[in-house]
Structure 1
């Protein structure tokens, strides 16, 4: 977010569906009233404190960012930005602001811990590290726990005791407990289930298979086009497509790709096609009735995308699973 500080009279800034990771450089936008940062990659929730200088800011949208999943996210933002009147489309009541301010210190502590974890994961992603390493704070805690365990072990064996059947039984119990603890630590922990929809019904963007994609809007035909780079030689039977009015979900060999759509679509009129040459999956999703078609001089315009190999191709249809709600 650069070169925006001179826009003194800017009242509404929409930066949704970008690659923003930190909120910054908006202090000079003195007239800013509404800021939309929907579906970005903001993990440093503490960066919202830079918006304190924007005293006229009334509406803020952070839905779809990693920080919006933090425990205490809403309370932290409400207490930090006292000028806000609406967060993620929900009005902030006076009682909610009072409660948020009362527990701000505790909420800030929890948020900082989660932010540190997110920043550490992001650094691993930049390095291409897919290992199970942990952040420095967790490493320190693990080292302290190991040192305490070693000290207790040394104290147990170095403490003098009488040579009796009871002392022998106590040593046996100690060794047995240690053996069980080692066996328990070696047990494979079940992988936590990926959260696709939060408890409050909010749909998340997920890309477990790390597939590149392109979402474009066909203005002439009033529809959305999602081009997903599915593995070229993978059998179509390993694909499962589920289109909902507000999002689409594709299962690729058991790995989920889920994308929140910018407009409502008609699932029963949608079509899924698989390229016979590149293997790409093309989803054609007509807009729902009542959606306003925008004006655009070109036939289609990109909404969000990742790198794709473009070019003419032949597609063949296959079974599409959908639910009408």
Structure 2
């Protein structure tokens, strides 16, 4: 019923100096901050509010303070943070929520000069640390709301509120209760007696904690430990005894140690669940590592091919040259994605070309003029995220766009005039031959047309309105009319004949005017 618990230790004369303890508790990382900064489009440098609750965090590491310096609202409730630290970079912090943690003392708020609301509900600030904690908040002149309900100091001392109100005159609300003027006057009157009472209670609490620590240390069974020469230590633990003890304790004490053990179990279960979910998940790419490897390989290859630089655009990026907006400079604008992290862009400017590695892909371009490398600079546009590379020319007027345009126009003009002069002499005989050939062809065409008999093709003439009316009148009278086709002469004869025929049969033609 025993099992061996194995861990490594570095020992000097059988006394361990450092033990390697494996912990599955999560830490505050840049990936976690980006995940929680979705409301700010994943931008963590400009983040003003973030929620890191229920993340089983044991501490506030330096990543949060160094990365998110513009934070105004920070939620850290329902973790197991035991110390308020690494908050000195957050000068703009207005609201800090550390409810349901393991904080035992208020500290680390020296630079949070704009702090207006502090929530420390259900923590472990006891009477032995109350005086130092409240003294630390006296310099926070903008602090108006304070929540300390559920702390041992608030639960075990009836005069807790009077003491806090007297020591912090800037407070307007304490544990959700508005502080009135009369409450402040009464608290200040009781303050001398409250300080004496607090000193006695704090001393008693310190004595009680020391006694509990001694009893706990003596009650702990001495494990059977075997240390080998290579530094490996084997500890025998009675699993059955531990299991029986755990089962017998149905109720657990509300102590920092108990909460740490509970949250460690929760973190272990959470990690196992994530591991099972990630078994079949696609492998996550490390873009930063890929970028570093690509930069090194590309720069080494460019160093080898220093005399033969070839232009390349592997990513298909849109780019534009500008030499007119800023006279004497070459400005290269590359349209990269707006939300592309700048750490994935590497720019290397040379006197005659510029080489960029953007997300492991190369963009290499020859410059229109030689530039000053030491004075070149890069910028990112805030609107669309475009990359601007500003490079001063070695010669401010060298190879400008207008100069190149004038040169190309002069070259085209010289080519056109030279070609016209040379072509006139060379094309003279050709044009003469072509003219004689055309005349010969015309003579042959005339001869062939004269040999053929002439035929006249009469096209039917379209009748006018008067002729149509006359034809309809004759048809109604039963008079035969000739065909309406023929020449102008035949049309006139038709009209005269029709009028005469119509007169003989008694048709009124007075309203028809002959053409």
| TM bracket, shorter-chain basis | 0.3 to 0.5
Give the alignment's TM-score, normalised by structure 1.
0.42
Q: Which has the higher contact order (CA 8 A, sep 6+)?
A: 1
- Who wins on radius of gyration, i.e. which is larger? 2
Give the alignment's TM-score, normalised by structure 2.
0.27
